[in-house]
Amino acid sequence: MAVIDYKANYTNVWEVDDNFYQYVEDTCKTLYIESLKDLPPDVRRALERAHEREELESGKEILSTLIKTVSTADDQKLLICQDTGIPVYFLKIGSQVRFDGIRLQQAIKKGTERATLEHPLRSSIVNTLTRKNHGTSTGNQVPVLHYEFVEGNEIEILIVPKGSGSENMSYLKMLTPAAGIEGIKKYVLECVFESGANPCPPTIVGIGLGGTADKCAALAKKAAAREVGSPNPDPDVRKLEEELYILINKMGLGAQGLGGSTTALAVHIEAADTHMTCNPVAVNMMCWPARRMRATFKSNQEPIISY
């Protein structure tokens, strides 16, 4: 966090008007639907590369089925996967934007509901105790929202519909400092082994390191949502990403857990500092249809949609 270097700059403040919230609602509807149909180019490339590299014939065939699924979704405007997931949004909020946070949250929720009812999409969200499905893909504290404040005068909203096959394969362990980096590597390998075929491999393995238990789990999710081929800028962290990528793919679980060298498309780590007694590790995997789509909002402009 570069908070210490931050010099407040209010030369270009954007005070949003009422139209902004309607834009957010309409755009979130679009983001949810389109993210389920149109896989980001980096994930497509990663699948193509994996297909080229895979030496096990049956694994190669599975990877070609994945690629065929993506092109079928393109051609026929179909959802890639029927699991519309838990809608998760990551927001980047510029320091010079002035808005009502409650109305922003409501607009995101409304857009998510409208996508579900108007497309229609399968609603996967239920009350955790009664198991009643609300039919709207929303509910108590769903969509899940993550906020980050950045310099500038834009708001970025990234949707990550998180499929449950991979979400159910999530792990957290408070390792000891004595376990060290080797302990982190071992734990991640054990988690990937344990999850087997369930998270729809090849996955993006998202890893959170440090912080508190809750912060660590959130970092793992943020890591899993990163673009394939976007290494962590910290060289120590990047080295660990590269090592784990090689180790995981040596295990032989393969695409769909049916063998081969394509278990992970990428390994991403997000790290925070932690207590001197703590060494927290969280793992959150992203299934091969690593869906995401973002919109950037600026003053007096239509929202810009990208991956």
Q: Residue 205 forms beta bridges with which residues? A: 267, 285
Cα–Cα separations (whole angstroms), residue 89 to 31, 46, 70: 10, 23, 23
Integer Cα distance of 254 and 79 in angstroms: 24
Nearer to another protein, 97 or 121 (CB): 121
Report, in Å, the least distance between residue 13 CB and another protein: 43
Report, in Å, the least distance between residue 251 CB and another protein: 5
Q: Residues interacting with another protein, by CB under 8 A?
A: 58, 61-62, 65-66, 68-70, 72-73, 76, 78-84, 119-123, 131, 133, 135, 163-165, 168, 182, 185-186, 189-190, 193, 196-198, 200, 247, 250-254, 256-259, 287-289
Nearer to another protein, 169 or 219 (CB): 169
Expressed in angstroms, the distance from the first to the final Cα of the chain is 25
Report, in Å, the least distance between residue 245 CB and another protein: 13
Report, in Å, the least distance between residue 26 CB and another protein: 21
Report, in Å, the least distance between residue 44 CB and another protein: 14
Nearer to another protein, 247 or 272 (CB): 247
Integer Cα distance of 279 and 70 in angstroms: 39
Nearer to another protein, 13 or 181 (CB): 181
Nearer to another protein, 16 or 264 (CB): 264
Nearer to another protein, 83 or 156 (CB): 83
Report, in Å, the least distance between residue 240 CB and another protein: 12
Nearer to another protein, 164 or 274 (CB): 164
Report, in Å, the least distance between residue 289 CB and another protein: 5
Q: What angle do CA 216, 221, 227 make, to 5 degrees?
A: 130
Structure tokens at 138: 């929303």
Report, in Å, the least distance between residue 80 CB and another protein: 5
Structure tokens at 90: 């990551």
Nearer to another protein, 153 or 284 (CB): 284
Q: What are the two backbone dihedrals, phi and then psi, of residue 215, each rounded to the nearest 5 degrees?
A: -65, -40
